[in-house]
Amino acid sequence: MSTAAIPAPSLQATDTSRSRKLRNHLATGFIWATFLAAALPLAFIVFYVVRAGMRLFSYDFLVTNIPIISAQPGPGMAPAVVGTLLITGAATAIAVPLGVLGAVYLNEYGRRGALATFIRLMTDVMSGVPSVVMGLFIYTIWVLRYGLSGFAGALALACLMLPIIVRTSEEMLRLVPAGLREASAALGCRTWRTTVRIVLPAALPGIVSGAMLAVARAAGETAPLLFTIGVVSKPNTSLFGANTALSAQIFKNAQVPFPAAQDRAWAAALTLILLVFVLTLAARVVSARFARK
């Protein structure tokens, strides 16, 4: 490019015309406004959930049974708290080992091969499956034969968590320096020992934080539980037999015209949000520690 024809630029006043300046300011204003557009709904929702939820939220609320007549005022979500913890816990116990092992295959064995690439694509497909479809799937394959149970709900949630855990774990495994594997191999370790003793421990904090985020998302899911777990009004601490969950109770009570039921829905929503945020925060702390290393 020749520079000969370009006149010396004025170093003083810029020549930016009024309309260009105006448009720049408008665009900047719009960009600031979009931030508010996202922050305001969050503030509104959190404000309402906390304000309406506090009407009923207490220790009693967490340990009292759900009133059988939904117009009856007063606390009680104990079965839902038990159900959410139990079902989410079981889903985690199924999805995390399977997902991490799957990620080990993708990153340590399959790598750039055709099968691994295909599995990666299918993992993306699976993470796009709507949660309600997962519920239908578990209904047709499990509930039709063995009936409604907390375990069926856990299966549905595990199916939703699996692709998330595979992808995040694979990302974390990829971050482990190849030098560690080579050093281990040079010392005569077999691949499986290298993976279990060297690679996985190095990637563990990242895997844990990814898994916690998946758990947080699963804990809030409603659609896959609607036709898999049934309903109970007393705590069921067994994985088998009908159960209930916070999300399912919120869904049910939100549609009821009685203020008492709606109050329980708000307090259950507060409980659920607290649970999800604690998990998210824990994931943050774990991954922050990872980042410091």
| Sole residue written with tokens 């839902």 | 80
Identity of the residue, 196 or 234, whose beta carbon is nearer to other proteins in the bound complex: 196
Listed ranges 58-66, 70-78, 133-141, 236-244: which one lies at the site for other proteins (CB under 8 A): 133-141
Q: Which of residues 90-109 bind other proteins (CB under 8 A)?
A: 98-99, 101-102, 104-106, 108-109
Are 155 and 177 spatial neighbours (Cβ–Cβ below 8 Å)?
no
128 binds other proteins (CB under 8 A): yes
Please tell me the distance from the alpha carbon of residue 95 to that of residue 83, in angstroms, as a whole number: 18
Listed ranges 62-70, 74-82, 119-127, 174-182: which one lies at the site for other proteins (CB under 8 A): 119-127
Listed ranges 55-63, 68-76, 128-136, 233-241: which one lies at the site for other proteins (CB under 8 A): 128-136
Identity of the residue, 228 or 237, whose beta carbon is nearer to other proteins in the bound complex: 228
Are 137 and 212 spatial neighbours (Cβ–Cβ below 8 Å)?
no
Are 256 and 50 spatial neighbours (Cβ–Cβ below 8 Å)?
no
Nearest-CA neighbor of 224 among 285, 140, 125, 109?
A: 140
Q: For the purposes of burial, counting CB atoms within 10 Å of the CB of 170, is it exposed (0-12), middle (13-18) or buried (19 or more)?
A: buried
- In the complex, what is the shortest distance from the CB of residue 238 to other proteins, in angstroms, rounded to a whole number? 22
Nearest-CA neighbor of 239 among 141, 171, 149, 166?
A: 149
Please tell me the distance from the alpha carbon of residue 136 to that of residue 228, in angstroms, as a whole number: 8
Which amino acid is it at 275?
A: L
Q: Which of residues 57-96 bind other proteins (CB under 8 A)?
A: none
- In the complex, what is the shortest distance from the CB of residue 64 to other proteins, in angstroms, rounded to a whole number? 20
Identity of the residue, 4 or 38, whose beta carbon is nearer to other proteins in the bound complex: 38
CB within 8 Å of 289: residues ≥ 6 apart: 205
CA distances to 67, 93, 231, 293 from 158, rounded to whole Å, are 30, 8, 20, 31
Size of the site for other proteins (CB under 8 A): 97
Among 137, 171, 233, 258, binds other proteins (CB under 8 A): 137
- In the complex, what is the shortest distance from the CB of residue 73 to other proteins, in angstroms, rounded to a whole number? 17
Are 204 and 191 spatial neighbours (Cβ–Cβ below 8 Å)?
no
Among 88, 123, 168, 244, binds other proteins (CB under 8 A): 123
Listed ranges 56-64, 75-83, 135-143, 203-211: which one lies at the site for other proteins (CB under 8 A): 135-143
Q: Which of residues 165-224 bind other proteins (CB under 8 A)?
A: 166, 184, 187-193, 195-197, 216-217, 219-223
Listed ranges 25-33, 74-82, 204-212, 232-240: which one lies at the site for other proteins (CB under 8 A): 25-33
